[in-house]
Amino acid sequence: MTDIPGFVERTLRIGTRSSPMALVQAGHVADLLRSRVPGLATQTVPITASGDTWTGSLTEAGGKGLFVKDVDLRLQQGEVDVAVHCLKDVPGDQPLPDGLVFAATPPRADPLDVLLVPEASTAASLADLPHGAAVATSSVRRRAQLLAQRPDLRTPEVRGAVGTRLEKLDGLRDGLEADAMVLAKAGLLRLGLTHRIRYEFPPTEMLPAVGAGVLAVHCRHDDDAVLAMLRLIDDPRTHAEATAERSMLQGLDGHCNSPVAGHCTTDDTGRLTLHGMVFTPDGRHTAHTQLGAPSAESAADLGTRACTELLRGGARAIIDVSAPGG
């Protein structure tokens, strides 16, 4: 079936959150694996994550780590063989749980943020929205960048599955009155909902989140056969870009309420460019850097250097102001 050393023919159990988006992402990873290991049997194991059931502020409950810890726990306990996460949900200021490793980052999806409006709206961009318009978002990073462009905007909190958010935006569900909403393009691509996009924010207007569009695939460090399989779907370019972005974030020691953005790109020669920003919650004050590195081998160092530049530019004070009680 395969020449992966030590592989025992068995059903590969892929753990994931139970949301529609997460199930699609897990299916994508399964498809990639089956394309590289013909005959491989896979089983998706949906797991209810604490972040999906918590109705309050994520900041108060411990941040986006709530979306990954329950799945990783099942992986630690041997109930699944693989865990699939959105990399941007994996805490950047904490090590992975004991015994787990980052095994693969498949090719990155489009990392940009996009504007959506109610189906009946004619607005085609942020500029088309009226003074004092409400633009819903669950992200402190997006909120800061929206307010930097339009201080008049209101930014109500919105959470839940993408489909639920769209129903709220269109007035089909109670709980939200908004003129627009900002979501990740990657998620809409995976769900086949790109027809709802009215405007794509270029990075100069809204710098993406660290790890945006990247899937992180975890496994147990001592599961040699699974680790070898997952290495087959690791994309070197995505891996390098994610390494640079995460290295910057880890150095900043940010938290779930830190408006931090980081976007690394690779040109045709293999050179990396990392753009990093840190914002106050109102978007009025920022620290900014843009640095390059000659190749993927320098990705971690690039992130470290970007972090140093941001700290020199006042990032520490900005992050501390953003902290709960700061």
Active-site annotation, residues: 89
Q: How far apart are CA 18 and CA 57, in angstroms?
A: 20
Q: How far apart are CA 152 and CA 133, in angstroms?
A: 8
| Closest C-alpha to 324, from 251, 255, 252 | 255
Q: How far apart are CA 208 and CA 274, in angstroms?
A: 11
Q: What burial letters (b/e) apply to 247-266, b meaning 16+ CB within 10 Å?
A: bbbbbbebbbbbbbbbbbeb
- Which residues lie across from 182 on neighbouring strands? 115
- Which residues lie across from 272 on neighbouring strands? 266, 293
Angle between helices 315-322 and 236-252 (to 10 degrees): 80
- Region class of 46: left (phi > 0), else alpha (psi between -120 and 50), else beta: beta
| Closest C-alpha to 287, from 254, 257, 309, 320 | 309
Three-class secondary structure of residue 286 per DSSP: strand
Cβ 318 vs Cβ 260: under 8 Å: no
Q: What type of residue is 237?
A: R
Three-class secondary structure of residue 31 per DSSP: helix
Q: How far apart are CA 290 and CA 113, in angstroms?
A: 19
Q: How far apart are CA 248 and CA 93, in angstroms?
A: 11
Cα 195 to Cα 115, 178, 198, 289, 306, distances in angstroms: 12, 19, 8, 34, 36
